[in-house]
Every structure is written in structure tokens, then in C-alpha cells.
Structure 1
Amino acid sequence: MDLLTWLSHRDGIGHRDDAAAAGFAPPRVRAAIRAGGVQRIRARWIAIPSAPVDLVRAAEAGGAVTCVSLARRRGWWVPPDTEEMLHLHLPAHESIRDVGLRAHWTKPLGPRRPRSLEASFEDALAHAAECFDLDHATAIWESAIRREAMTLESLRQVGWRSSAARRVLEHVRGDTGSSLETIFHVRLSGWGVRLRFQVHLAGHDVDFVIGTHLVVQVDGWAYHSSSADRTRDIAHDAELRLRGYTVLRFSYAQILYDWHNVERILIAAIARGAHLAPFHA
């Protein structure tokens, strides 16, 4: 295997110590750099032209990709309209050389993996708690739980240092079905009303039940996009109404971009007793 192939198997970028351990002596590395097929990054990193830009910039800065930037790399949910600025976890002695970076200089929560250009999941979650509002940060955390080999119990065992991270942990449930449900749940958590989610009613699960009889469905596009999905939803809503439930549906766009009106409707419904069992004289 030549050096370019070795790098291509490592996301296109590698540490020179790892290259030496793989049998690529420094003269071979220097020859590849002179030939133009390999780029030297600072003193200890090498990369091929196809290497991911975020990892190259992390190596140039002496840091590791973290926060929302790691979320994007790992396929976690990212709040819409989030700026593309690269978030890096930097050692205390490193300064920012690139104006397009957002630096996190926190002490790592655990031992930093040697020669890694990605922060640990725990550090990335802690940084997200600092960068985002509670509802969006909690959605990122719960998305990470769904995507990675993490559990809520394991997160509770971490020695979180920031009050922001500890506050997010108080709201994380680990069993919500989507980031949209997480955001809705967090926003209503301080209302002082009984709130349950994924409740089985009339043959199907509903997203939320407020009190005993106010059903709220939050329609993420992936699960309600086809005609068959919509027909099923309409039929289920009708069955719930026949059983005395009030049913409200809100779209992804309403939850994220028109929350003021969603909140107004929910408050009006609760004020009218829609969350209580119907009274029969």
C-alpha cells in the first residue's frame, strides 16, 4: 500500500507518527510532499487534496472538530439556519488564526484521544449546550443518543462541568421519537401541565397528550409526507374525536418558525378545558 492509499483509508488525512508506525518512513513522506500528491499541515499532519475541509482546518488550528460541526459530521440533528462556522475544541495554548472559527477552550471531560481531529461525543455535547438554546441543545443531545452507542444513563454518569450541560441533562429523556418532539417537549416542560408522549390511543401512538384529552401531533415531514400517511392520520384523528379527544396538529415549520402562534393556540385550548375529560350532564 502506498502513502496516498493509506491516507484515503483514513478520511484523507493522518498524523505523521501514525504514518511512521504504518511503515512510511519520514523520507518517503517528504518525497510524497515534494511530488505534490500529499500536503503537509503544520509540522505533524499530512493530507491528500480530497481530505474533508473541516478536518484539514482542525489540523491547521491544532484542534478538534466539536459542537455543531461534529454533529454535522456524525449525522446528528442540527438546528435549521445554523451558521456554517467551524467549531473547534482547542488546547489552552492555541490561538485562533482563522476568523471563520468558533473556538471552545474548555478542559476535556476525559482524556483526549491522541492524534484525533474529532472531539469526544461528551465534549461536543457540552459545547452544544453552551452554544444553543435549551430546546435546540436538548434536541442535539437526544439525536446523538439515537445515532450513537450512548444511553441516557451513561450521560448521567459524566462529570459535566458547566451549568448549561447539567440543565440540558435534566431535560433529556432519550426515548423521544424525533428532534421535533424533543423541542416541543422542552418548550412545554415548564408549563405546569401534565404532558405525556408516545401514548397509545385508538390503535395508534400519538405524539403528546396534555392533561387527559388534548392530543398534539407534531408532523415531521419524513413520517407524514405521502397520501397514505395523510389518509391514516385523518382517520385516526376522527376516531380520537369520536372518543372525546381534542386533536391539534402542528407542522415542522410551525414548531420551528411560528412558535408564537403554536403557543397561543395551546394556551387557548387549555384555557377552554380541552385538556380535560368532557363533562357529561
Structure 2
Amino acid sequence: MNIERAIDRLGGVAHQTALAELGFTPVDARAAVSAGRLMRIRKSWVARTGNDSDAVAAVRVGGSLTCLSLLRARSVWCAEDGDLHVRADRNTSHFASPQSRRVPLDREVHRVKIHRTLSGLIPSPDTRSQAAQPALRASDSVAVALMQMITCQPRDHAIAAIDSALVKKLVTRHRLETMAESLTLKHREAVALSDANSESGLETKARLRLRALGIPFRSQVPIRGVGRVDLLIGDRLVIELDGRKWHSSEQAFTRDRGRNLTLHEAAYLPMRYSYAQVMYEWDRIEAVIRGHVRRREHRWSSRQRRDGCGFENTWSESTGARGMRPAEPTR
């Protein structure tokens, strides 16, 4: 394996300690830089020539890619803020532009958010021996990025990102719980409120807000002829949340309306909301839901039960067996 392939294996950018673990010396790196096969982006850091990734930019600034910038690159659901999120050691004082080490960092102009390493998250260089120091990485792990996000973003956004990472199996709950235990109550609460069954960030946000209102619900409930619905309040109030990615095509529009019709045929009360409505008009949604619950329209009426309602057409996802079961009682 040559040094270029080693750099590729390390994600396209590498510190000399990581290269040393693969058997490459500083002399090897200097020779590759002189030949134009690699470029030096910071002292002891090299990358493949032409690599303009966020990880390279973060190293050039003076730290590691983290928080939203790292999570977006891993396809974790998170908000967009247009900033480059960089984690730096607590004693780092010199930061440079993402484009050039010769230009001092202007956080507003260069759109860079500096995160200081959380105390207790990663041992600082002065608390470990040089021999025990692990190779430096250009990008944080998903777990570390999530811990940094909890201090950076609104609670609902952070929990939505945790849910997404758990669903995608990019991290384990045990790993997050272990890390949060050494941090703050805010970190422990965010991990405790996460749910690996949440299908999207929108579902997480709605779930947390309904929980805050004290309105009981179930998530990802399977209904015969429809599939799983995002949230079910009481017996029949179905909440469907349309993310931008999966509900923007004409085919998706037609499918969603077909689901609504099937739900109406079975006497459910479907409510479908867009990404923008959940993100920016939740107060209006909340008022509508509270109205339905106050009027007890989320429960089957006596007449509906006499007509055969009051049972959910469901199936067992483990066995594939279809059947009927009574709705769980809710207030």
C-alpha cells in the first residue's frame, strides 16, 4: 500500500500519527507533497491533492469536523445552518480561515462555529502521555459529534439527530449513555428522551411536543391497507409528517393521498403536515390537535363502535400474520 492509498483509507486527510500507525514516516509524506501527490494543509497534516472536503477545511481551521457538519456528512437528520462546525482543544488559540492557514479566522465572514472539546469527553493532550496519545483524526466520531450537538442546537433538534443516528445504526444507545454519563444532566436527558423507532426528525419533534403537552400517543403503528402511520393519538387520530425528501414527487403525493383515503374509509381521522408546518407553524398544529382531543374526537364514539370500529386492522411484523386487535385505551 502506498501513502496515497493510506490517505484514502484514512478518509482523504491524515495526521502524521495516523500515517505512522500504517508504517509511513514524515519523510514519506514530504516526498509525496514535493511530488504533488499530496498537499500539506497544516503542520503534520496532509491530504490528497485537490481534496476540498469539510474535513480538510476543519483541519485547516485548527480542529476536527464535528456537530452538524459531521452528522450531515453521515446522512444523519439535522438542521441546516450553513456553518462549518469545528471542534478544537480547550487551549487552542490560533484559528485560520477554512481556505488558507495564512489568513486568520473571522468566524462571521468564514461562517465557522468553534466548539471547545467538552470536559470529560476526550482526554486533553496534557492529561495523557505522548506514548498513549491516539492518532488525531480530521473528523469526530458520530457519538462525539452528537455530544457536541447537544450543547450547540435546540434540544428537539439534538434528540432528532440522536434518533436518526440510532435508526441508521451509526452508534449504539449504550455508547451514548456511557458518554453522556461523564458529561452533564442536559446530555443524559437528551439521550434518555431519544427513540430508535423514530422514522424521521419531524416525527421526533412532534413526539417531543406531544409528550410535553401530556397527550398520549403511539408511534409507527401498523394499520392494515395503509402500512405504518407516524403517530396515532387515542383510537383514531392519525398524524402523518411529510419530510421534504420523501414527499416531494408526484408519485409520493398520489401515494400519500391514497393512504388518507384508506384511513378515512376505516373511520380514522388523518392529519397530514408538511416539513415547513412542523418546523415553523407548530403552534397552529398544536391548537388543532388539542381541539380534537378536547372534543374527544380522537376516540371512537359509541355509534362507531357499534358499526364495527374500535379495532385496528394490524399485522405482526415479525410473523406477517394479519389480524384485528382492540385499540389501547387512552384518555
Q: TM-score, normalised by structure 2?
A: 0.73
Equivalent pair of 1:40/1:46 in contact (CA under 8 Å) = yes
**Gap runs ≥5 in structure 2:** 96-104, 124-132, 307-331
Q: In 2, distance between residues paired with 1:238 and 1:161?
A: 48
Q: In 1, distance between residues paired with 2:55 and 2:250?
A: 42
User: For 1:169-208, what aligned pairs fall within 5 Å after superposition?
Assistant: 169-203=191-225, 204-208=227-231
One-letter code aligned to 2:211:
S
The aligned residue for residue 14 of structure 1 is: 14
Q: 1:172 to 1:160 in 2, by over 3 A?
A: farther
1:259 aligns with 2:282: yes
The aligned residue for residue 93 of structure 1 is: 91
Q: In 2, distance between residues paired with 1:65 and 1:246?
A: 45
Q: In 2, distance between residues paired with 1:188 and 1:242?
A: 26
Q: 1:19 to 1:255 in 2, by over 3 A?
A: same
The aligned residue for residue 107 of structure 1 is: 119
Q: In 1, distance between residues paired with 2:287 and 2:210?
A: 12
1:77 deviates by 1.3
Q: In 1, distance between residues paired with 2:177 and 2:17?
A: 36
Secondary structure (helix, strand or coil) at the match of 1:83 reads coil
One-letter code aligned to 1:55:
A
The aligned residue for residue 57 of structure 1 is: 57
Equivalent pair of 2:47/2:56 in contact (CA under 8 Å) = yes
User: For 1:31-42, what aligned pairs fall within 5 Å after superposition?
Assistant: 31-42=31-42
Give deviations 1:4-51, integer Å, cap 9, x for gaps: 454344333222244455454444433433444433333311223322
Q: In 1, distance between residues paired with 2:29 and 2:46?
A: 9
CA RMSD in angstroms, aligned pairs only: 2.8
Q: In 2, distance between residues paired with 1:228 and 1:174?
A: 28
Which is further off, 257-266 or 150-159? 150-159
**Gap runs ≥5 in structure 1:** none
Give deviations 1:124-172, integer Å, cap 9, x for gaps: 1111111111211111111111223433344334325123222212321
Q: In 2, distance between residues paired with 1:243 and 1:29?
A: 67
Give deviations 1:65-112, integer Å, cap 9, x for gaps: 111111022121121xx3222222222221252223422231353568
Equivalent pair of 2:163/2:194 in contact (CA under 8 Å) = yes
One-letter code aligned to 1:116:
R
Q: In 1, distance between residues paired with 2:247 and 2:82?
A: 29
Secondary structure (helix, strand or coil) at the match of 1:126 reads helix
Q: In 1, distance between residues paired with 2:120 and 2:135?
A: 12
Equivalent pair of 1:244/1:278 in contact (CA under 8 Å) = no
Which is further off, 221-230 or 205-214? 221-230
Equivalent pair of 1:145/1:152 in contact (CA under 8 Å) = yes
The aligned residue for residue 322 of structure 2 is: none
One-letter code aligned to 1:90:
A
Q: 1:26 to 1:186 in 2, by over 3 A?
A: same
One-letter code aligned to 1:193:
I
Secondary structure (helix, strand or coil) at the match of 1:47 reads strand
Q: In 2, distance between residues paired with 1:193 and 1:130?
A: 28
Equivalent pair of 1:63/1:89 in contact (CA under 8 Å) = yes
